[in-house]
Structure 1
Amino acid sequence: MHKPRTEEAVTSLHDLSAVDLIAGYRAKQFSPSEVLEDLLAHVAVWEPQLKALYAFDPDGARAAAKASTARWSGGEPSGPLDGVPVTIKDNIATKGTPVPLGAASVKLVPAEKDAPPAARLREAGAILFAKTTMPDYGMLSSGLSSFHALARNPWDLTKNPGGSSAGAGAAGAAGYGPLHLGTDIGGSIRLPAGWCGLVGLKPSFGRVPIDPPYVGRVAGPMTRTVDDCALMMSVIAKPDRRDGMSLPADTINWKALEKSPRKLRIGLMLDLGVGQPLEKPVREVAVKAAKAFESAGAVVTEVDGILTREMLDGLDNFWRARMWDDLSKLTPDEQAKVLPYIFKWGESGAKLSGVDVIRGFNQTMAIRAAAKTLFCELDYLISPTAPNVNYPAEFASPVNDPMKPFEHICYTVPWNMSENPAIAINGGYDAKGFPIGVQIVGRRFDDIGVLGMAKAFESLRGPQRPWPSPPKK
């Protein structure tokens, strides 16, 4: 039976971690149906302000929670996430739901089947109650979209949650359950995680099978705790033959998170010499994180950035051309529906020569080479997640200029191209209490090590502020 809960002394059901939910179900302290009802009531209060969700399905979720409750009652859960609420980003297909990619120009055709990470979550018993919003084609670090309503940051509703996993970031910070699935091709998990105070893992490329796959593109968890991030990875990292770029099956023990920083060689990457200047509060949080690891016995050395202007502009040219390839196939009426910022950016790709585009793509190989050289000398790297503390909700990106679209991704995008695992975790706050993310990067395939370092940092970083509460009516 569900035990009485006092409002102040006990964590609300919707705020419990996935690890705690599973423990509570096992101990029969509460049921999946009770958790879902508490979550739905909470979402009803927050969502009019946040606009984090797409394809919200409370009735389907209630049916799934009822079945899960029956399984737990009989002592036969179906998997490691049975009864745990989860959201999945718009661009990860779920059977029967259209995949608009955040763009009003995309035809709404119900997906025929679950994409690999969505399939793994369902098989594990997770309850998908909604998908989350994203900007047009996932090519903005913003909650701005031509299809979805503007998503906002629960820490400050005038600010942007970041993107492109915008709704996932907002939902995680607002307490829409413990587990949220995002995607990342240049920072789209880590940036909103950093601006929303969450843990966001960009796994090694290929670690989590995805469909359709693409260079640098990964799916990964966005959670409030490292333990939940690891639990989610234990489910979504299972093999799927639909991804021809995925890694072979691995026997990673995702529970083995205890890791001492002692004697590890850690680089601290601050000023990059390219992109947006590093704001003082962000620098202070990153330096404090490095000092915390140093106090735990790590050998910390400041290192230079590896990204150059040529690399960033090359990526920009390559992605512009790739975007124009998609936009050019639309009818004039469909093109008119695309977010103007995205259309202006993509349209400029039409002017690039084939040599311009291949030079741009070749910068991905230059980034890989630079990362390889760096990690010959390092075990892990610490950096800011983003150079700025926050930016207005209505902006398409922190600079808000389609001719300078990627000035804010210089700390995150190298690790997509080099395939290294990288995690964002809250490192502190600015003077107004807004969260500031720290990024921890590891060698290729060392996903469990990156999680272990983030777990160690949870105990080193000091007390955290309470999560945001819904605005009072």
Structure 2
Amino acid sequence: MTAIASLSAAELGPLYASRELSPVEVAKDALARIERFEPQVNAFVVRDDKVPLAMAEAAQARWLKGEALGPLDGVPVTIKDNLGVAGWPMRRGSAVASDAPFAADSPAVARLREAGCVFLGKTSMPEYGWKGVGDSPLSGITRNPWDIATGPGGSSSGAAVAAALNLGCIHLGTDGAGSVRIPAAFTGVFGLKPSYGRVPAWPISVMGFLAHLGPLTRTVRDAALAMNAIGRPDERDMTAMTGMPPDFTDGLEAGVRGLRIAWSPRLGVDVPVDPEIAALTHSAALAFRELGASVEEVDPGFDDPIDTLMTLWSAGAALALRSAGPEARAQMDPGLVAVAEAGERIDGATYVDVLLNRRNALALHMAQFHARFDLLLTPTLPLPAFSVGRNTPADGAYGEDWTRWTPFTYPFNITQAPAASVPCGLTSAGLPAGLQIVGPYGSDSLVLQAAAALEALRPFPRVDAPIETI
């Protein structure tokens, strides 16, 4: 039989049903590989093997009785450390946060528990998810399995690493400025930022309407299966959609024939793009012509909304640190503290103007753009993964501000539209590149459909164990 380490969530259910494989076998395999790889990649902040083994045993009993809860029963998953899991701490990457067990599951976690998933552990993130790289005062440095001298990006750092190594099939992440798509691109996995509100959140993120919650997976179908579960409504989030989600696997292989697709190699931003990333993403964009879509090179035509982002982002950081005094702040990431202090200086009228008017103006602009184009393609990032322990590359090409090398991701947090990062090849150094697919608000199924079409034409590269190049 195919090695457990290569199986997807979609493949596990039929194997459980035929009794060729059991949830306990799968859980033990995943836990053994976590134990083996964790010293190299440092992707987990909470591990308690008794919990996943007990959940796997319960799932196995249901399958044996013919009473499985659904296609995800017994599927191993991980959860980012800013999402609540009853009985496990939620420290958000902060060494000064309480390590007391959290009282309740967050909505997406609750939906996965109801689906019978097996919780392998909680994954690492930078402190309060404030930056796009994978180190924190709590857990140290998380490393990229494609080359452990490089970082996996962030803030869903450990989730992306676990997805790349198939340490579980579904990995919950959050995305406030690219935090699912950035690490997905750096680690060669599929990452989806759904339309805002499609996946309920609680506790509500301090980043408010910027913050989306979505899956990182090795396959597009696994992400669709995850969305079927986590996209269900929850009354604890007053900003979330209240209707039941569609079946995101329905029509997943329908293709893109006849779609009008825009390709923007720089999104109109004056930013250096690595030549290999440019070539790989351009080739992937043109591949949609092979699939029957029209592809036109065109920029959406908006100015870089970095000021809008940073007004909301720094105010959110200020809220996160509101109760942290000087002693606590001295133990926190200095960059986070600086951003929070900038947020404390923002006046209320400015914040509300950005929240209501400037955000809406960009969303309207993109809605009008999508009246002409069904989808927009861009590189997810302008560069491959760079050295660990840094917020920006050492060559100084992007300065010292991490948002300067992520200009293609955060505009679509502001508009709240669905966006995904799809693996589209490797550089000569063996590092992944990601193509970003953006759709109009509410078109999550179409984004998944386009990603699945590209995956079928150009299967994603895989890494089976951490690579050490030093």
When the two structures are superposed, what TM-score results if normalisation uses the length of structure 2?
0.93
Q: Is the 8 A contact 2:188 2:462 kept in 1?
A: no
Select 2:281's aligned residue among 276, 283, 286: 286
Tell me what 1:469 maps to: 465
Q: Return 192-201 or 278-287, whichever deviates more.
A: 278-287
For 2:128 and 2:301, locate their aligned partners in 1 and report how far apart those are by CA, in whole Å: 27
Relative to structure 1, the CA distance from residue 73 to residue 341 in structure 2 (aligned partners, 3 Å threshold; closer, same or farther) is same
Relative to structure 1, the CA distance from residue 382 to residue 39 in structure 2 (aligned partners, 3 Å threshold; closer, same or farther) is same
Which amino acid letter does the alignment assign opposite residue 341 of structure 2? E
Tell me what 1:393 maps to: 388
Q: Is the 8 A contact 2:268 2:301 kept in 1?
A: no
Tell me what 1:345 maps to: 339
Q: Is the 8 A contact 1:268 1:383 kept in 2?
A: yes
Relative to structure 1, the CA distance from residue 104 to residue 212 in structure 2 (aligned partners, 3 Å threshold; closer, same or farther) is same
Tell me what 2:50 maps to: 59
Aligned pairs (5 A) from 1:314-329: 314-329=308-323
Which amino acid letter does the alignment assign opposite residue 318 of structure 1? L
Tell me what 2:303 maps to: 308
Matched residues, number: 461
Q: Is the 8 A contact 1:94 1:114 kept in 2?
A: yes
Is the counterpart of residue 183 in structure 1 residue 174 in structure 2?
yes
Select 1:95's aligned residue among 86, 89, 103: 86
Aligned pairs (5 A) from 1:138-157: 138-157=129-148
* 1:182-211 deviation line (CA, Å, top 9, x unaligned): 111111111111111111111111111111
Q: Is the 8 A contact 2:256 2:291 kept in 1?
A: yes
Select 2:366's aligned residue among 366, 371, 383: 371
Relative to structure 1, the CA distance from residue 454 to residue 204 in structure 2 (aligned partners, 3 Å threshold; closer, same or farther) is same
* 1:243-271 deviation line (CA, Å, top 9, x unaligned): 11111213512222122322210000112
Q: Give the secondary structure class of the aligned counterpart of 2:233.
A: coil
Relative to structure 1, the CA distance from residue 321 to residue 286 in structure 2 (aligned partners, 3 Å threshold; closer, same or farther) is same
Tell me what 1:433 maps to: 430
For 2:461 and 2:309, locate their aligned partners in 1 and report how far apart those are by CA, in whole Å: 37
Q: Give the secondary structure class of the aligned counterpart of 1:228.
A: helix
Q: Is the 8 A contact 1:97 1:110 kept in 2?
A: yes
Q: Is the 8 A contact 2:147 2:467 kept in 1?
A: no
TM-superposed deviation, 1:178: 1.1
TM-superposed deviation, 1:272: 3.1
When the two structures are superposed, what TM-score results if normalisation uses the length of structure 1?
0.93
Q: Give the secondary structure class of the aligned counterpart of 2:120.
A: strand
Q: Return 34-43 or 150-159, whichever deviates more.
A: 34-43
Q: Return 178-187 or 117-126, whichever deviates more.
A: 178-187
Relative to structure 1, the CA distance from residue 314 to residue 255 in structure 2 (aligned partners, 3 Å threshold; closer, same or farther) is closer
Select 1:447's aligned residue among 435, 439, 444: 444
TM-superposed deviation, 1:351: 4.0
Relative to structure 1, the CA distance from residue 322 to residue 38 in structure 2 (aligned partners, 3 Å threshold; closer, same or farther) is closer
Aligned pairs (5 A) from 1:19-34: 19-34=10-25
Q: Is the 8 A contact 2:188 2:461 kept in 1?
A: no
Tell me what 2:327 maps to: 333
* 1:408-445 deviation line (CA, Å, top 9, x unaligned): 23211122221211111101111122110111111211
Structure 1 unmatched ranges of 5 or more: none
Tell me what 1:277 maps to: 272
Q: Give the secondary structure class of the aligned counterpart of 2:135.
A: coil
Tell me what 1:458 maps to: 455
Tell me what 2:150 maps to: 159
Structure 2 unmatched ranges of 5 or more: none
